[in-house]
Amino acid sequence: MKNILTTIYLSFLVLGITSCDQFLTIVPEDEQVLETYYTSESSVNANTASLYSAFVWQDFNMNFIWMAGDELAGDLYYTYDQEGQFYYMTFQNGNSFLKEGWNGLFRVVSYCNNIINGMPAAARANGISEEIVNRALAEARCIRGIAYYFLSEYWQDVPIITDSNISGDQVIRNTQSSVYEFIRRDLVFASENLPSTPFQEGRCSKYTAVGMLAKLHLTMASHLENADSDSNFGLAKQYALQVVNESNYSLYNDLSTMFYPAGNNNSESLFAIQCTNDGYGYGNGRNVSQSRNALITLGASWGAGKGPTLDLQESFENGDLRRKYTFMRNGDQYNNLGGGGYTYYNFSEDESTETNNEMLAHVRKYVIGANSDCGGVAGASNQDAGNNTYLLRLTDVYLCYVEACIGSGSLTADATALDLFKQVRSRAGLGWSSDSITYDQLIKERRVEFAFESINFLDIKRMSYRNMTDALTYLNDMDRERQYLSNGSYNWQERNADGAYHGGFTSVNPEDDSSGKGSIFYLNPDVASITVSAENLVLPIPAETLTKTPSITAEPVEYEFN
C-alpha cells in the first residue's frame, strides 16, 4: 500500500479539502467529478488508502498523540512550554497542541465521511460491484470508529458528525454513551464487510474491527454503574477470543525491529498509521522529536529534555527485554542507532556533546537512528521517518481479554487469560508462576508493554470509570515530578561509572553522604509536587472551536440513530 500512498495525494484536492473557516466544512463534492473518479476498483482502493496515511492523521499523530497518551499517563517527562503542560497537568483550552489533536481527529472523520457519503452512488453508477463498495465503506467506517474512540476517551461528549458539510452554528455535542453506540455500529458494519486477511498490506481486516470492538466493549463495561456492564465485559471477552482463535495474527517476536520500518505491518499489527519518507507530515516524527541528540540520528533531533519518568522506569522488572527497547540508560548498547552503533552514556567525554537529563534516561521506542540503520528512511531532516505508528496491536487484544475476565472484580484465574498473559511476558523474557492475575498486575503489565505507544492514558481512563479514587491515587502515587540533579564535581568517567545510575532511585543528599564526596546524582528535593484531579482526565474543548462553534457549549444530547 505504500506505493499507492505515494500516488494518491492529488485525490485529497479532488475529493475534499478541510476549510479553516468553519468547524468541519468540506468543499462540496461535485457529482460529475465523483462519477469521473470512481471508475474502477483501483480508484476506489486508492482513495480508501488515503485514510491510513500519516498525511491525514498528521495533526493527531505528529505531536498530540504522545503528549496526551504518554505525558498525561505519567510515562514521559517533558517540561518545555505548551508541550510540558501535559506533563504538569496545567493545559487549558488555548493550548495549541490540544487544538491539533481535536482538529486532527475530526480531519480523519471528515475524510471518512467523504468516502462514506460520496463514493457508493458514483461507484455503483460505474458498475463497481457491491462487494468492492461495501469493503471500501467498511474501511472508512472502521477508521472513523477508531478516530471516534480516541475522541470519546479524551473529550468524552463530542459531536457525532456524519455530514461534513455542516456550519459551525449546527454543531452540538452528543453524550459519550451515544458516541460509544455510534462507534459500535461502525465497527460491526466493518467486521461484517472486511476480509479476514487485509487485501493489501497495511489495510484493515475483519479482525481490526473485531479487536476494536473488544476494546470498545471493555471501555463501556468499565462504567460499572451502567446496567449493561457485565454484558459488555462478556462481549469484550467474546470479541477478543474471536481475534485470538480465528485470525491469522500472531505475536511478533523481534523486539529490536518492532518499531522500525522492518517491522511495519508485521504479524501483530491490527491497525497502524502508514508512514512514508515523503516530507513533513507524511511520516513518523518521533525519530526526531524524541531522540536524544544528533549522534543518534545523524540529523536533526530535539529529544534531549524528554525521558521516561522515574516511576515508569521502576515499573520494569529486572530482566525485562522490553526495557532496553523502550528507553536508554547508562551503558546500553545498540547496533542500529547512530549509523551503525551507539552506546548510551549519561555524559560524553567532552561533557558537552552529551549530558544527562533529569531522568538519567532517554526514549528508545520509535527512535530508529540514521538512514543506514533503517533502510534509508530515518526522516531526520523532515521528521518523516518511515516507521508506522501502531494504534492497535494483537498484544492489546490479548490483554483486553485478561482485563475483561477480571471484570468488575480484582483478579482472574481464567486459563486462557493466564496463557495469553504468559505469552506476552514470555516474549519479554519473563515468566509467570501465579495461578491468577490481579487487576493491578494487569495494569502494570499493560504499562510496560505499551510505554511510549500513547495508549496508556486510555487504560487510566478505564480505571477512572471503574473507580475515580483509585485512578487518581494511581496517578498521584507516581510522584511524577521526581527528577535527578548531577553533582558537577565529577569527571565524565566517574559520572558514567557503575553505580553512578541509582537503580533504586533512593534519594541521597550530598551533604549526608558518608563518603564525603557527595552523590554523583541525587534527587532534587525542591521540586513542586504535581497533583492530578478528576478534571484533568477530560480534556477541554479547544478555545478556537468554542469561538467558531458556540453551540457546542450546550449540554450534550443523545444522538438520534436512524
For 124-135, the pLDDT digits (tens) are 999 999 999 999
The pLDDT assigned to 19 comes to 36
Tell me the average pLDDT across 326-342: 96
Rounded to whole angstroms, the Cα distance separating 444 from 447 reads: 5
Which CATH number does the domain housing residue 164 bear? Answer: 1.25.40.390
**Positive or negative: CA dihedral 172, 176, 177, 178:** positive
For the chain, give the number of residues.
Answer: 562
The pLDDT assigned to 227 comes to 98
Tell me the average pLDDT across 336-363: 92
Residue 428 lies in a domain: no
- List helix spans (H) across 222-348: 229-246, 286-289, 294-297, 310-315, 322-326
Distance linking the first and last C-alpha atoms of the chain: 35
Q: How confident is the model at residue 77 (pLDDT cuts 50, 70, 90)?
A: very high
Tell me the average pLDDT across 506-533: 70
- Which of these ranges, 272-276, 477-481, 523-527, has the smallest mean pLDDT? 523-527
Q: How confident is the model at residue 16 (pLDDT cuts 50, 70, 90)?
A: very low
Number of structural domains in the chain: 1
Helix (H, G, I), strand (E, B) or coil at 550: helix
Tell me the average pLDDT across 362-374: 98
Residue 27 lies in a domain: yes
Measure Cα distances from 289 to 185, 343, 385, 413, 539 in Å: 37, 20, 11, 42, 23
8 has pLDDT over 70: no
Tell me the average pLDDT across 47-55: 96
The pLDDT assigned to 511 comes to 57
Rounded to whole angstroms, the Cα distance separating 227 from 222 reads: 11
The pLDDT assigned to 525 comes to 81
pTM of the model: 0.94
Which parts of 180-299 are beta strand (E)? 269-273
Residue 530 lies in a domain: no
512 has pLDDT over 60: no
The pLDDT assigned to 438 comes to 98
10 has pLDDT over 50: no
Average pLDDT across the chain, whole number: 91
* Of 516 and 539, the one with more pLDDT: 539
The pLDDT assigned to 491 comes to 80
Beta bridge partners of 377: none
Instruction: Read off the C-alpha cell for 33.
Output: 467529478
Please write the tens of the pLDDT for every residue from 167-201: 777 899 999 999 999 999 999 999 999 999 999 99
Q: How confident is the model at residue 37 (pLDDT cuts 50, 70, 90)?
A: confident
Residue 221 lies in a domain: no
The pLDDT assigned to 7 comes to 43
Instruction: Read off the C-alpha cell for 37.
Output: 473518479
User: For residue 360, is it left (φ>0), alpha (ψ between -120 and 50) or beta?
Assistant: left
549 has pLDDT over 80: yes
Q: How confident is the model at residue 498 (pLDDT cuts 50, 70, 90)?
A: confident
Tell me the average pLDDT across 393-397: 98
Q: How confident is the model at residue 496 (pLDDT cuts 50, 70, 90)?
A: confident
The pLDDT assigned to 23 comes to 44
Taking the C-alpha atoms of 58, 59, 62 and 68 in order, what is their torsion angle to the nearest 10 degrees? -140
Give CB contacts under 8 A, 24+ apart, made by 329-335: 329/360, 329/361, 329/501, 330/360, 330/496, 330/500, 330/501, 331/496, 331/501, 334/364, 334/369
Q: Can you give the C-alpha Rg of the chain in angstroms?
A: 24
The pLDDT assigned to 455 comes to 97
Residue 304 lies in a domain: no
Q: Is 448 within 8 Å of 424 (Cβ atoms)? A: no
The pLDDT assigned to 14 comes to 42
The domain of 180 spans 2-194
Tell me the average pLDDT across 11-17: 43
Residue 75 lies in a domain: yes
Tell me the average pLDDT across 314-340: 96
The pLDDT assigned to 13 comes to 38
Residue 155 lies in a domain: yes
